[in-house]
Amino acid sequence: MSRTETLQLAGSALAEAWERTMPIVLSQSDHAEVRADEAQENVLRVHIATAGHSNYSFDFKCTYVDSREVQVELIDVECDGVSVDERTNTIQTLADDYVRHIHECAQQLHAVTSG
């Protein structure tokens, strides 16, 4: 596909498609919330709460570069509602895993985002 393909679905409709697809690519016990960015139609805000007793939550900014490719940026990590050091091995491993899941979700939605 051409890198010049433009995003055909944006804003809240895109966020709703992600909300339906993220549970498919995440572990069953993890939970994701996806919201459209209010300032940019090609940006989604992804919040993932981890499973188990760790009580970590991750916030990502997901920017569509074109209809297929997303750029993912880790914004914040919290444990029990308190920001934590994002540089620890445990958090980096979890964050990397979630970034892969976010990219996988974008690939699954390519048919929707390319029109």
Please count the other Cβ atoms lying within 10 Å of the Cβ belonging to residue 76.
13
What pTM was estimated for this model as a whole? 0.91
81 assigned to some structural domain: yes
Query: What residue has token string 């995440």?
Result: 26
49 assigned to some structural domain: yes
4 assigned to some structural domain: no
- The helix/strand/coil state of 19 is helix
104 assigned to some structural domain: yes
Q: What is the pLDDT of residues 39-87, one digit of tens each?
A: 998 999 999 999 777 899 999 999 999 887 899 999 999 999 899 999 9
Residue 19 structural domain: 11-113
Q: What phi and psi values does residue 57 have, to the nearest 5 degrees?
A: -135, 140
The CATH number of residue 83's host domain is 3.30.530
The type of residue at 92 is Q
6 assigned to some structural domain: no
58 assigned to some structural domain: yes
DSSP structural state of residue 42: T
85 assigned to some structural domain: yes
Task: Give the mean pLDDT of 87-91.
Answer: 93
Residues 6+ positions from 11 with CB-CB distance below 8 Å: 36, 41
CB 5 within 8 A of CB 66: yes
> Does position 115 have pLDDT exceeding 80, yes or no?
no
What domain count does the chain have?
A: 1
Handedness of CA 18, 105, 71, 7 (dihedral sign): negative
